[in-house]
A and B are shown apart, each in its own frame.
Chain A
Amino acid sequence: MSETLLLTGGRVVDPSQELDGVRDVLLVDGEVARVAPSVQAPEHARVLDCDRLVVTPGLIDVHVHLREPGEEHKETIASGARAAAAGGFTAVCAMPNTEPPIDNPAAVGFVAAEGRRAGAARVYPVGCISVDRAGKRLALIGEMVEAGAVAVTDDGNPVMNSGLMKLALQYTQAFGIPVADHPEDLTLSAGGHMNAGIVSTRLGLPGKPNAAEDIHIVRDLLLAETTGGHIHLQHVSTRFGVESIRQAKARGVRVTAEASPHHLILTEEAVEGYRTEAKMNPPLRTAEDREAVRAGVADGTLDTIATDHAPHHYDEKEAAFTDAPNGIVGLETALGLILTHVVGEGILDLPTMVERMSCQPARAFHLPGGTLAEGAPADVTVFDPVARWTVDSNAFRSRSHNQPFEGWELTGRPSYTLVGGRVVWER
C-alpha cells in the first residue's frame, strides 16, 4: 500500500537527531529510509516539493476526546482521526471517557480497530484507571495494555481516591505505561464553572480556585515519588502547579506533563460576555498563570503540548454558561496557534516546539515516532511556516466547532500529513 515518497528541499527540523537544515527525506515501505542533503529519487517515487516548507517528525497529541462510542453526534474515531491529520497530527491518544467508558480490553480493541479503519492519523487507545471510571477499583489494566492501550487515565474525572492512585502508580510499573491524571480536587472546585478570581466575582459565576488543581498535582507528585510510578499530569494551568512539577523533576520524580494551546494563549478574560466557547476544565486562568505555563513549556517542565480536543455539539454550547459543557476542539487550530502565538512571540523556537509536539509526546507515552531517524515509522508533518489563514470552524473535519479562536488570523499551517509513508492529508 505505502508508496515510495521523496520529500525534497524542505527545512528538516528533527530535535531527536539535533537536525535543523535543508534535507531530502526518503520514505520507503512505511519507514524513513534516508535523510540527506540530496537524495536521488528512486524510480516510481512520488516527489513532494517541500521547498520553503518545514518537515518534522509527525506531531503527536497525547490528549484528545474522540467521543466514540456513545456520543457520535459530537465526534467519531474516524472524524477525529481525519481532523487530527488535517491539523498536522500523525497520532493521537484517545481518552477513555466515552459512553460506555474504555475500561476493558474489548473496548480498547474497538478503539484501535476503528482508528486503523479510519486510515488517517494513528489512534492510540488510552484505558481507564478504574472500572467504569468510578474511582473505586483498578480496571483490567494489564489486559488493556495487551489490547493496545498506551496509558491509563480516568480523565474527565480526577482520581480523588489517593489510595487508588497509589495502587495505579504501583501496578502500571509492570507494564511500563504512564498514569495520566486530570488534577482537580473536586471538593474545592465543586460547582465551579470558570477560574475563581476577579472575573468570576464580577460575572457572578462560581469559580474553581487554583488550589483545587495545585493540591491534586502535589498529591500526585508525592505518590509518584513514593511508588516510583510514572505520573503524567494533564493540562497543567497554574503557576504553583508548574513550579511543583519543576521541583519534582529536579528531585528525580518520574513525571511528565502537558500544556494546552489555550492555556498558553488565553486568560480568564476570554470568558467575558459569558462566552461558552471559552469554557473548559481546567479553566482559563490569570496572566500570571499563563506566563508560568509558558515558562514551563519553554524550560521543559511541561514536556508536551496537548490539545485536550473536546468536541461538543453546538446545541450544548448554545446555552447559559453554567449549563454548557466544558471543553473546546483543538486539533485543527493547534499548530497554527502555537506557530503564531508561542513560536511567533519568541516563547519557543521551532526545534523546541517540535520537541514538545512530537519527540516528547512519543517518549512520554512510549509511542513509535517522534523522530526521522532511519528505520523510524514514516510519520511526517510538513507545514508552511508563513502561510496566513483565518480560523473558520465550518471548514473543520471535526464534527464539532466549539472553540474560542473563530476568525483569528494565524500564520503557519500544515501542507502534508504522512502516516506510515502514506499521505493521509494534503492541502
Chain B
Amino acid sequence: MSETAPSLGKDLVGLESLGREELTAILDTAEPFKEISERRIKKVPVLRGKTIVNLFFEPSTRTRISFEFAEKRLSADTVNISSTGSSVTKGETLVDTARNLEAMRIDMVVMRHGASGAARFLADRIPSNVVNAGDGRHEHPTQGLLDILTIRDNLGTLEGVKVCIVGDVVHSRVARSNIYGLLTLGAEVAVCGPPTLVPGSFRELGVEVFQHVEDAIQWADVLNILRLQLERMEAGYVPSLREYNRIWGVSTERLEKAPHDLLILHPGPMNRGVEIDSDVADGEHSVILDQVTNGVAVRMAVLYLLAGGRPEKAEAAKKGGGPS
C-alpha cells in the first residue's frame, strides 16, 4: 500500500467524507488515464491479477459498462453479477452474498444497490475494497467525480464556479455526491425543481434552492440536469411530464435569456423533451458525452488508487507498472 497521503482508504463509499486533497488526487489521477482510452490498444497492466466483482442489484447499463471498461483497460479480471438470475433473488441476504464472494478471494467489489447505506454496510463487513456504484438515494461517488472532472476540464477551475442541479434532487444519489464534492472543492451549489422534489430542507446542506428554472439559469455557470423518472409522476410528485417540461424543462429559449453561456451536463439516461430539450442536449454547450468519456477515466483512477496506487505515479503506471 502507499505510504504517502492522500490515501482513499479501503473503500469509496461517498464523497461526503472526502477532503479536498483526496478529491483532487482522484481528479488529477484521472487525467493521465484518459489517454489510455485514446490508444489503439486500450490496455495497461496496472491491475493485472486483481479480481473485481461488479455486483449490481439494480439494473444499470452505462455505469456497469463504464466500470467494466475501466477494469478491463487496467487488466483486472472481472465478474458481473446482476440481481436477475443470481442467488440474490432466491432470498440470500446481502451479508451472505458478500461473505460468499469473499470466500472466493476477490480483491474489489463494485456495488449498485437500491438501499441507502448498502455500500457502507458491505464495506464494514468484508476486507475487499468496496466501490459504491450507487446506493439508494445516498451517493453515487464516481458519477459525482466524473461530473466534477468534466466541469473542471471545461472551465479550468472549480473555485467559485456556480453549479445548479436541476430536477429530482430529493431522490437523487447523483445530486448528493455532486453537492458534497463540489462544496468541498470550493464551488457554489444550488438545486432547482418542483418543491415536491427539491424541498427547502436542502438548504441545510449549504446549497441554494431555486423553485424556478429561470432563476437558476440567471444564477448558474453550469446546469447539471437530472433525469425525471416516470415513477415520480406516477407517485404524484408532479402532475404530468408535459407540465414538468413546460415549467422546469431546460430549453434553448430559456438558456438564451442567461447573462452568459452555461455548461450543460446530464448524468443520463436522458428523457429528451422532458427535463432537457434535444437542441440543448445536442447543442454546443452540452458536455454530456464528455461526461461519459470521463467516467471511464475517473473509475480507472478510483480503482487504481484503492489498489494502492499513488497519484504521482499514475503517469508511470500507465506505461507498464502495477500499483506501487
The interface of chain A, by Cβ under 8 A from chain B, is 196-198, 201-206, 273-274, 315, 318-323
Is A319 a contact partner of B136 (Cβ separation < 8 A)? no
Is A204 a contact partner of B138 (Cβ separation < 8 A)? yes
The interface of chain B, by Cβ under 8 A from chain A, is 16, 93-95, 113, 115-118, 120-121, 135-139, 173, 176, 201-202, 204-205
Is B120 a contact partner of A273 (Cβ separation < 8 A)? yes
Is A274 a contact partner of B120 (Cβ separation < 8 A)? yes
- A322–B202 Cα distance when bound, in Å, is 21
Tell me whether A320 and B118 are in contact in the complex, defined as CB-CB below 8 angstroms, given that A204-B136, A204-B137, A204-B138 are known contacts. yes
- A322–B114 Cα distance when bound, in Å, is 9
**Residues of chain B contacted by A323 (CB below 8 angstroms):** 115
**Residues of chain B contacted by A205 (CB below 8 angstroms):** 116-117, 136-138
Is B93 a contact partner of A315 (Cβ separation < 8 A)? yes
Is B116 a contact partner of A274 (Cβ separation < 8 A)? yes
User: For the complex, would chain A's binding face be called helix, strand, loop or mixed by DSSP majority?
Assistant: loop
Q: A319-B94, A319-B121 are in contact. List 18 more A-B contacts (CB 8 A).
A: A198-B205, A201-B201, A201-B204, A203-B117, A204-B135, A204-B138, A204-B139, A204-B176, A205-B136, A206-B137, A273-B120, A274-B120, A315-B93, A318-B93, A318-B95, A320-B115, A320-B117, A322-B116
Shortest CB–CB separation between residue A28 and chain B, in angstroms?
55
Shortest CB–CB separation between residue A289 and chain B, in angstroms?
16
Chain B residue nearest in CB terms to A198: B204
- A318–B121 Cα distance when bound, in Å, is 9
**Residues of chain B contacted by A321 (CB below 8 angstroms):** 115-117, 121
Give me 12 A-to-B residue pairs in the complex whose CB atoms sit less than 8 angstroms apart, sorted by A's number: A197-B201, A205-B136, A205-B137, A206-B137, A273-B120, A315-B93, A319-B121, A320-B116, A320-B136, A321-B115, A322-B115, A322-B136
- A318–B97 Cα distance when bound, in Å, is 13
Interface centre among B113, B117, B176, B205 (most CB of A within 10 A): B117
- A243–B95 Cα distance when bound, in Å, is 43
- A204–B204 Cα distance when bound, in Å, is 14
**Which 4 pairs between the two chains have the least Cβ-Cβ distance?**
A274-B117, A204-B138, A320-B115, A204-B137
**Residues of chain B contacted by A197 (CB below 8 angstroms):** 201
- A320–B98 Cα distance when bound, in Å, is 13
Shortest CB–CB separation between residue A68 and chain B, in angstroms?
25
**Residues of chain A contacted by B93 (CB below 8 angstroms):** 315, 318-319
**Residues of chain A contacted by B113 (CB below 8 angstroms):** 320
- A323–B135 Cα distance when bound, in Å, is 13
**Residues of chain A contacted by B136 (CB below 8 angstroms):** 204-205, 320, 322
**Residues of chain A contacted by B202 (CB below 8 angstroms):** 201
Is B120 a contact partner of A204 (Cβ separation < 8 A)? no
- A318–B135 Cα distance when bound, in Å, is 17
**Residues of chain A contacted by B139 (CB below 8 angstroms):** 204
Interface centre among A203, A315, A323 (most CB of B within 10 A): A203
